[in-house]
Amino acid sequence: MSDHVIHATDTDFDATVLQSEQPVLVDFWAPWCGPCKAIGPLVDDLADSYAGKAKVVKVDVQQYPALGVKYNVRSIPMLLVFKDGQVHGSQLGAPPNIQSLLTQMIEKAL
C-alpha cells in the first residue's frame, strides 16, 4: 500500500477532496469487492506517481455509505476525479486498460 493514498471518511471528505487545491482521484471501493482489490495496486502506483501534483483518496463505501449515495455510486469500483470541488471525470468498473484511463483522467485535470 502506498503512503500517498489518503483514506477519507464522512467527516473529512470535504476538506480532503472538495477543498483540495490539487486534483483528486477518489476510489470508491469495499473490502469484499474483487475488482476493487484487483485495481488497488494500480491506484497505489498512481498515488506515488502523482505525489505532490494530485491526491489519491480511497473511500470505503461499506463504512461510509452516505458518501456513496451523495456521489451516486451504484456499482464499484467507481473512480471520480475532482477538480475545484467538482467532478471532472469518472470511471466505472475495472477494464483491462484502467491504468491508462485513470492516468488520462488525472492528466486532464492537472
Question: Which sequence positions are flagged as catalytic?
Answer: 33, 36
Closest CA to 45 of 25, 23, 62, 69: 25
- Decide if 48 contacts 42 (C-beta within 8 A): no
Closest CA to 71 of 87, 91, 93: 87
Bridging pattern class, strands 55-60 and 78-83: unpaired
Q: Which amino acid is at 25?
A: L
- Decide if 76 contacts 33 (C-beta within 8 A): yes
